[in-house]
Amino acid sequence: MTAFARRNGVLHAESVSLIDLAARFGTPCWVYSRAALEASLAEFERELAGLDALVCYAVKANSNLAVLDVFARRGAGFDIVSGGELRRALAAGADPRRIVFSGVGKTAAEMELALAADILCFNVESAPELDRLSAVAGRLGKTAPISLRVNPDVDAKTHPYISTGLKENKFGVAYEEALALYRHAASLPNLTISGIDCHIGSQLLDPAPFAAALDKILTLVDQLAANGIVLHHIDLGGGLGIRYRDEDAPTVQAYLQPMLQKLRDRHLQVLLEPGRRLVGNAGLLLTRVEYLKPGEVKNFAIVDAAMNDLARPALYGSWHDIVPVVAPQGATRPWEIVGPVCESGDFLGHGRDLALATGDLLAIMSAGAYGMAMSSNYNSRPRAAEVMVDGADVHLVRRRETAEELYALEQRLP
C-alpha cells in the first residue's frame, strides 16, 4: 500500500498533493491516509478470517476520532488505557462490547465509567487492582469481566523504554504469581474470569518472542484449567513493528501464523491490541523549512515542526525518514533537521543528506503512531492540524489550536 507517493515529482497523500494541503491547512500538519489505515487493518482481518478473533486497536497510538471511526466502522474493537480514551472511543462510535481496558493505574472513577459502559474486559495488572475492581463493581451491582495481564518475562529485544514483558518492568503480574492471583480473583465477588492477557513490548521486529511468550501463557492456561479456571479468551497484546528506515518488519502473517497454530483446537477467542502497526505508516507530519543555518560544524535546517509535535526522535532517538515534498534538485549536504523549541534535544533528524531551500516543504514519514498522540504544547506551541485524506477528498479532522486556547483554562490572580 503506497498511500504516499510522488506524482510528477510532487509527494501526494492518495490523490491529493501535499503542496495543496500545506496551502490549505498550513504547517506543521499531520496527514493521514484512510486507505492506508484500512489496508493495515485488512491485513489482520485476512489472517483472522473465520476465527473467533477481535482486533482491539490500541487507542494510545493515535486517538483522533476520525482514525477511531475508520476502525470502528470496520468492526474493530479498541484497547484503552484511561477514562479519556474510553470517552473518545465511545464518541467515535465504538461498540463498548469490543473494548478492553489495559493499564496499571485504573482509578475507581475510570472503573465505574467502564462498568457503566459494559466493556468487554478489564486487563488487570495487580492484586490490589483486583480488589478495587471487585469493590467498585459490587457498589454498582455489576459483574466485571477480567483477565490478568501476565508478565511472561521474555526479552522482546526492543528499546528499553518500550519493552514491557521483562521482570524489571512495572507492567503485568509476575508469571510465578499468576496462578495464585487467578485463584484469588475467583474468590472475589462481582468479578468473572474471562481471559488472560500479555503484552511484551512495542516495535518488535522478530516474531519469535511473541511465540515464546505465548508458550509460557499457554502453560499457564493449562494449569488454570487443571484448577477449574477455564478461560474464554486470550489477548496477545500489541507490539508488531513497522519499517521506519530499513527494518525488516514481519508481515502480519509471519507474526500471527505461528501463534494461531499454537492456538488451534484451544477454543479460545483471540484478541489482539495492535497500535503502531495499524497507524504508523498511514500518517506523516508535513513541515516547512523556516531558516537555513549552514555552519562550520553542522548545517541546521530549522523547520516549523518540533519535538512538541513529534517527540519520538528526542525521546527515544527514533529515526523517521524525512523527504522533500518536491523532488529535489541541486547538490545535497547533511542537514540537522531541527525545530524552534528551546532545547538542544529538539531535533527531528540528524545529518540528513538533502538539497534544501528556505520555504521547502518536508514530509516526516511514519508519523501516524505516537505522533500527535504524544504531542504537547511546550513553548506554548498550538498543536498542529490533523487532516485525513480519502482518495481525492480531504477532511480536516482536528483544526489547529489557537494561542488563546492554550491558556483558556488559566486565570490571572484576583
Backbone angles phi and psi of 111, in degrees to 5: -60, -40
What element of type H or E holds 90?
helix 83-91
Residue with cell 501476565: 150
Residue 121 engages ligand LLP in binding (rule: CB under 6 A): no
Is 343 marked as a binding-site residue?
A: yes
Residue type, 173: V
Nearer to ligand LLP, 33 or 202 (CB): 202
Residue 80 engages ligand LLP in binding (rule: CB under 6 A): no
Residue 239 engages ligand LLP in binding (rule: CB under 6 A): yes
Which of 40, 202, 281, 287 is close enough to bind ligand LLP by CB under 6 A?
Answer: 202
Give the nearest distance from C-beta 227 to ligand LLP in angstroms. 26
**CB distance 165 to 198 below 8 Å:** yes
Is 349 marked as a binding-site residue?
A: no
Nearer to ligand LLP, 28 or 241 (CB): 241
Q: Which residues contact 60 (CB under 8 A, 6 or more apart)?
A: 81, 85, 275, 370, 373
**CB distance 364 to 348 below 8 Å:** yes
Residue 366 engages ligand LLP in binding (rule: CB under 6 A): no
Nearer to ligand LLP, 79 or 390 (CB): 79
Give the nearest distance from C-beta 236 to ligand LLP in angstroms. 10
Which one-letter DSSP state was computed for residue 128? H
**Contact track, ligand LLP, 311-350, x by CB under 6 A:** -x--------------------------------------
**CB distance 122 to 113 below 8 Å:** no
Count helices and strands in the chain by DSSP H and E runs: 12, 21
| Residue of 29, 121, 198, 342 with catalytic role | 342
C-alpha cell at 335: 542537514
Give the nearest distance from C-beta 134 to ligand LLP in angstroms. 22
Nearer to ligand LLP, 28 or 239 (CB): 239
C-alpha cell at 272: 489482539
| Stretch of 18-26, 45-53, 198-206, 215-223 contacting ligand LLP, by CB under 6 A | 198-206
Residues β-bridged to residue 291? 302
Burial pattern 117-149, b for ≥16 Cβ within 10 A else e, equals bebbbbbbbbeebbebbbebbeeeebebbbbbb
| Stretch of 213-221, 271-279, 390-398, 404-412 contacting ligand LLP, by CB under 6 A | 271-279
Strand, helix or coil at 209? helix
Which of 14, 38, 79, 304 is close enough to bind ligand LLP by CB under 6 A?
Answer: 79
**CB distance 195 to 237 below 8 Å:** no
* Contact set for ligand LLP, span 19-78 (CB under 6 A): 58, 61
342 is a catalytic site residue = yes
Is 273 marked as a binding-site residue?
A: yes
Which positions make up the binding site for pyridoxal 5'-phosphate? Answer: 239, 273-276, 370
Active-site positions read 342
Residues in touch with ligand LLP (CB under 6 A):
58, 61, 79, 102, 162, 199, 202-203, 237-240, 273-277, 312, 370, 374
